[in-house]
Amino acid sequence: MLARLEDSALIVVDMQPTFLGPVWEGERVLGRCRFIAECARLLGVPILVTEQYPERMGGTEPGLLQATEAAPIAKMSFSCLGEKEFRKAWKALDREQAVIVGIETHICVTQTAYDLLEDEVDVIVCLDAVSARSEDRHKAAVKRMRDEGAGVAHTESVVYEWMQSAEHDRFRDVLAVVKRFTG
């Protein structure tokens, strides 16, 4: 399945420094989350951001939160959809496709993906923008989600799928972001 601009929403899961510190390749994941958030904002893709128990675990990484321009939704459940406020926000978007980034792959990302799949939502997990405390946890979760029907893609692939063509009116703006995040 391809990412469709008019049907997609971006879900940024629990990108809090407290959790991010021990995550395998955490800096890469943070950078790729910022990349796709900036592009989503440029292209008008709605963004939902969650924070796991923020009163105790702190808020979303500030640079990423600024890139999303979203108000975080606090949650205690591991699946984003287990939180009433998130479910309400998701339903209000009226989107058929969820693009998921964040941490941890084998816990909150997987449970969110499964709940969305059960609700017959197309799910795309961005492989370069999700991770866990170890590579084996991450890889096992990605395989499991793929086996259940989630699509797996690179953040840059998703962004170019959203635009469909170099003739998209925001192509040059997005290309500037691509260049900034690729060196």
DSSP state of 44: T
Cβ-contact 159, 36 below 8 angstroms? yes
**What average pLDDT does the segment 161-168 reach?**
98
Residue owning tokens 């969110």? 112
**What average pLDDT does the segment 34-45 reach?**
98
CA distance 53 to 39: 27
Q: What is the pLDDT of residue 78?
A: 98
Cβ-contact 15, 60 below 8 angstroms? yes
Q: What is the pLDDT of residue 183?
A: 59
**What average pLDDT does the segment 128-144 reach?**
97
**Topology of domain 8-181, CATH:** Rossmann fold (3.40.50)
Q: What percent of the chain has pLDDT over 90?
A: 99
Strand pairing class (122-131; 151-153): parallel
Strand pairing class (47-52; 8-13): parallel
Examine the pLDDT at 156 and tell me if it is beyond 90: yes
pLDDT tens digits, residue range 55-111? Answer: 999 999 999 999 999 999 999 999 999 999 999 999 999 999 999 999 999 999 999
* Cα 178 from chain centroid (whole Å): 17
Q: What is the pLDDT of residue 176?
A: 97
CA distance 146 to 17: 27
Annotated domain spans of the chain? 8-181
Q: Per-residue confidence at 182, pLDDT binned at 50, 70, 90?
A: confident
Computed over every residue of the chain, the mean pLDDT equals 97
Helices (H), 7-109: 17-20, 26-43, 54-57, 62-68, 84-93
**What average pLDDT does the segment 136-154 reach?**
97
Question: What is the enclosing helix (H) or strand (E) of 170?
Answer: none
**What average pLDDT does the segment 107-122 reach?**
98
pTM exceeding 0.85:
yes
Examine the pLDDT at 153 and tell me if it is beyond 90: yes
